[in-house]
Amino acid sequence: MAELQINTTQNVNISFTAASVGERILAYFVDMLIKVAYVVVVYQILFRALAFNRFLSGMDRWSEIAVMLIFFLPFMFYTLLFESLLEGQTPGKRLLRIKVVKIDGYQASFPDYLVRWFLRIVDINMLGGVVALISIIMSNKSQRLGDMTAGTSVISLKNKVTIDHTILENLQEDYQPIYPTVIRLSDNDARIIKETFLSAKKSGDKAIMNKLKSKIEEVIQSKAEEPDVNAFIDRILKDYNYFTQKM
């Protein structure tokens, strides 16, 4: 599987493993099975058990089409709905442990999922998915056309992750926070702060460290009480964990 380098807005490179073509195909078929099961169940309940045909018989042709479309909207918008609700995953993707992410390091948003969903017409529905298969293989970021347009890719979540790769921090039971305004940060903010902090600390880049400190102070609207920038950022991460765990 290819390595996917995601460059965050803080100029920090994060390495992910791109989801393989096989994983994406398997996730697609799992989702397709779920959609087909939905159609079968709806058909059996409405058109067999409830004799729904008698209800439709009193309508004109366009009204019948409109009613049918309403019942099959979940089938049509399945991928868009689940990726929006599950933050880049459908049941099939969740089962295969893969996820849609932005290649700039941020969480993909609804417009991104909408673009990917719309371009499935070209990528997957036309020519039986050949277009998507070729573009994923040829792309150095394992992107189909929908991903290229939306600025996204699909990554594997099967990488071994330690606490250093997450926003989690080890806190003592008697820990006392001093920056309550850290709740202004999001999980994604905390993740980028930690990744930038660890990278700059490892390389000894004081300029990035000071820039990060200034940005944090701006967002949380509070000045650092620690004279050392390392101690300040470390405290911010711990305080963020403390307050979010209490919520």
**Percent of the chain residues topping a pLDDT of 70:** 78
* More confident: 235 or 160: 235
Span 118-177, pLDDT tens digits: 999 999 988 888 999 999 988 888 899 999 999 999 988 875 444 344 445 556 677 888
* More confident: 16 or 70: 70
Q: Check if the beta carbon of residue 123 is closer than 8 Å to that of residue 131.
A: yes
Task: Give dist(CA 142, CA 56) in Å, integer.
Answer: 46
Span 161-172, pLDDT tens digits: 443 444 455 566
pTM of the predicted protein model: 0.61
Span 165-219, pLDDT tens digits: 444 555 667 788 888 898 888 877 888 888 888 888 888 888 888 888 899 999 9
Domain definitions of the chain by residue range: 3-156, 164-246
* Helix, strand, coil percentages, rounded to 5, for the chain: 65, 10, 30
Identify the pLDDT of residue 100: 92
